[in-house]
Amino acid sequence: LKYAKDSEVNLSEEKIKKLLKLYNLRSLKIRRKKTITKIKDKLYINTSWILPEKSRSGFTIYGKESNKLIKFWYQPKTRGKIELSLPKNIIINEEFIQCLGLSIGDGLNNPGILNNHYNFANTNLDLVKLIYDWLINSFKLKKENIQISAFSPENFNSNIQKKKISTLFKINKSKIKIYKTNRSKKLDVVIQFGNSIFQCLYLELFNKLKKIIFNDMKYRKAFLSGLFAAEGHVKHSTHNTIESIIFAFNP
């Protein structure tokens, strides 16, 4: 730019403005090359391939690599930049696929265009903790950015419920919100992560991984076990034998 202004090149004002615009870009458009690699019997998938080229609202998503992370971002017209750092490569194993199935069963998979959150809810605290750990360990999301709340029956003691949740998740009780309701007979725990870039990644995960899941028996079993934990039901008789197994899911 200094050369263009000081030399005898005599660039037009329009060309200088274009150069300035290019110079001020934080990064370039992401290269959308499919990348699934196997290293020492471990399968990895590249996050830049999973993410779509544009956000759900139609803005181009950019990315800048740094060590083992990629900082993704896009610029809406009326707000500040939406940003998120994610691992460059995510390890794909049976535990990951199982959590994906569980999340598809009890997560938010058809959000409205104005909803930029990832949600997961369940009355089983251990399953909620499984997804909580999945978000932190696989996607390196920061604990302080994941919100935990619960819907509790009117007759439940909120302090006892908060202590139970805080002990399991190892977070301060003050960060947990409890909402009283007469529509539930059990404590329903919800974890939420508000970021539209992560939402884009999550909504593309199954489409990108379904061939791997369908073609490998261990991944099929893992996916179905997670999905069944969310959507399945086993009914026992008075003799403690299995009376029926029910599985219902809207694909």
d(Cα 126, Cα 184) in Å, to the nearest integer? 19
- Confidence band, pLDDT 50/70/90 cuts, at residue 7: low
Mean pLDDT over 228-248 rounds to: 89
Predicted confidence (pLDDT) per residue in 119-178, tens digit? 999 999 999 999 999 999 999 999 999 999 999 888 888 889 899 999 999 999 888 999
- Confidence band, pLDDT 50/70/90 cuts, at residue 38: confident
Cβ-proximal residues to 153 (8 Å cutoff; 6+ apart), any chain: 180, 181, 182, 184, 185, 186, 187
Paired tokens of 193: 């992560």
pLDDT score recorded for residue 5: 53
Of the chain, the percentage scoring pLDDT greater than 90 comes to 53
Overall pTM > 0.75: yes
Residues 117/194, Cβ–Cβ less than 8 Å: yes
d(Cα 187, Cα 71) in Å, to the nearest integer? 36
Q: Is the pLDDT of residue 3 over 60?
A: no
d(Cα 32, Cα 49) in Å, to the nearest integer? 5
User: What Cα–Cα distance (Å) separates residue 16 from each residue in 7, 12, 20, 27?
Assistant: 13, 6, 6, 19
